Amino acid sequence: MSARPAAMLERAAKGTAAFEAAVHWLTDSGLTRPSYLPGWSRAHVVAHVARNADALVNLMTWARTGVETPMYASADRRANEIEDGARQPAGELREDLLAADGRLAQEFAGLPDECWGATVRTARGREVPASHVPWMRVREVWVHTVDLNLTTFDDVPHEVCVALVDDVAATFRTRPDCHPVELRAEDADRTWLLGTPGGAQPVAVRGDLPSLAAYATGRPVPGPLYPTGGAPLPKLPAWL
């Protein structure tokens, strides 16, 4: 049995508030401008985050009822729903986001303690306890706030930056397409190895937590990074 992940639920709520505030700040025409993600406008990012909230509601339903409820019906339907959402008038898109966020918050608040240990499955097929789902939302809202091209990782809480690099390091641990890279945080006593252990000599990359998290997740790096001996910064594979 997993306990209610109170700290992660709080981070999810704060990240959701940050994303909603960024969307509220945007003008209607600003929503149509490009996001950081290739081929997507800011409206696409908002629609994606709204549909992700509904997908995580499905996982909470699965945990609560024991009935298998996948995040998405299919990859094609997921893509079509994002496209349809992005074409909504700006006011309707904002309302869609708030409503989806509200549904997920209600599920988080109402899930019985004994259900947080239930096993659910991510869109990539990984089985995880329901207690992992709030982290999935933390990751989603904070990274996509940066993708709106309004803020940088300097605005992401340091504890979230650490958790993001933890996530990337775990994902890349068995990726043969990731050249070994050792990340060294100058503003925290932390190091991470990206790539398969025991392979080639890792390239050490120093920097602050926001810059390392941005680099690891493939986002714009807000500060300088220093590879060993002035070597070129290794290109990392896509994270998600």
Residue 189's CATH number: 3.30.1050.20
Would you say 195 and 179 are in contact if contact means Cβ atoms under 8 Å apart?
A: yes
Same domain, 48 and 131: yes
Overall residue count recorded for the chain in this entry: 240
Q: Could you list the beta-strand ranges (E) of the chain.
A: 119-121, 127-129, 181-185, 191-194, 203-207, 226-227
Q: What is the mean pLDDT of residues 122-137?
A: 97
Task: Report the CATH number that the domain containing residue 63 is assigned in CATH.
Answer: 1.20.120.450
Same domain, 25 and 132: yes
**pLDDT-above-90 percentage for the chain:** 91
Q: Which of 136, 151, 166 is the last residue of a domain?
A: 151
pLDDT of residue 1: 55
Same domain, 176 and 138: no
pLDDT of residue 229: 84
Q: What is the mean pLDDT of the chain?
A: 95
Residue 117: pLDDT above 80? yes
Q: Show the tokens assigned to 174.
A: 């068995």
Q: Which of 84, 117, 151 is the last residue of a domain?
A: 151
Mapped onto helix, strand or coil, the DSSP state of residue 68 is coil
Same domain, 132 and 209: no
Within 10 A of 59 (CB to CB), how many other CB atoms are there?
A: 24
Mention every residue, 6+ apart, whose C-beta is less than 8 A from residue 207. Answer: 183, 184, 185, 186, 215, 221, 223, 224, 225, 226
Q: What is the mean pLDDT of residues 23-46?
A: 97
Q: What's the domain range around 33?
A: 6-151
Q: What is the mean pLDDT of residues 127-141?
A: 98
Same domain, 17 and 130: yes
pLDDT of residue 106: 98
How many domains are contained in the chain? 2
pLDDT of residue 199: 67
Same domain, 85 and 202: no
